[in-house]
Amino acid sequence: MRILLAEDEARIAADVTAALQAAGYLVETALDGEEAWFRGDTEDYDLVVLDLGLPRMDGLAVLKKWRATGRTMPVLVLTARGSWPERVEGIDAGADDYLPKPFRMEELLARVRAVIRRSTGHAGSVIEAGALALDPRQMRVTRNGIPVSLSPLEYRLLAYLMHHRGRVVPGPELLEHLYGGGEGHEVNALEAILARLRKKLGAAAVETRRGFGYSIAAEST
């Protein structure tokens, strides 16, 4: 899962980035509103954490501009403490959730998980596909109830496929959500991670549909 963090306070940006990375997310940061808008306009993110008080273009304007041009990625806005009109305005402008500053990192992480879950059509906190269960709260994966130990990249790849179970995910999309944009990573890298995943989860756990992409097996394997 790939997250854009738009936050101009360096300290907060560093803390949130570290917490999100530790929770298994790929994080990219934008330090002002114009950069945030541009990245959100040109790249695909699973979630944007958007501070409303940003230099060069305020967060509300960024959000409105995205929504006006049909960008539908989930957005969690960070608002000033006690500023309820700002929160109302944020939600009306198309935010999916909000969090007043200062906040506890645990609450931010819980909201991030919930918004990503809802946006991909999952009601419960544990995502299941066949014999596999993924719990983003602990970055825990089990197969038939038995814990499986995964590397961060393996986990990130599996988490993306499981959130999008029932869909064939094209290779380039998977690469983008695994490594970010413009890194020149190849499908070969993907195949190497998939080979390791299949070794740990069973050969049929992830299906390769040549020319189309990858999907998680819905049946028990």
- The footprint of Ca ion (CB under 5 A) covers 8, 51, 53
Q: Is 60 or 158 the residue whose CB approaches Ca ion more closely?
A: 60
Q: Is 55 or 152 the residue whose CB approaches Ca ion more closely?
A: 55
Q: Hey, CA dihedral for 7, 13, 16, 19, is it positive or negative?
A: positive
Q: How far is CA 214 from CA 1, 10, 23, 153, in A?
A: 16, 37, 24, 16
CB 142 to Ca ion: min, Å: 40
CB 55 to Ca ion: min, Å: 8
Residues 19, 25, 29: CA angle, nearest 5 degrees: 75
Kindly state the helix (H) or strand (E) to which residue 216 belongs, with its residue range.
strand 213-216
Q: Is 53 or 100 the residue whose CB approaches Ca ion more closely?
A: 53
CB 40 to Ca ion: min, Å: 17
- What is the number of the residue whose Cβ is closest to Ca ion? 53
Kindly state the helix (H) or strand (E) to which residue 201 belongs, with its residue range.
helix 187-201
Helix-helix angle 187-201:171-179, to 10 degrees: 90
The answer for 181, left when phi > 0, alpha when psi is -120 to 50, beta otherwise, is beta
Q: Is 78 or 132 the residue whose CB approaches Ca ion more closely?
A: 78
CB 78 to Ca ion: min, Å: 8
CB 25 to Ca ion: min, Å: 21
Q: Is 62 or 158 the residue whose CB approaches Ca ion more closely?
A: 62
Helix-helix angle 33-42:59-68, to 10 degrees: 20
Rg (CA), the chain: 18
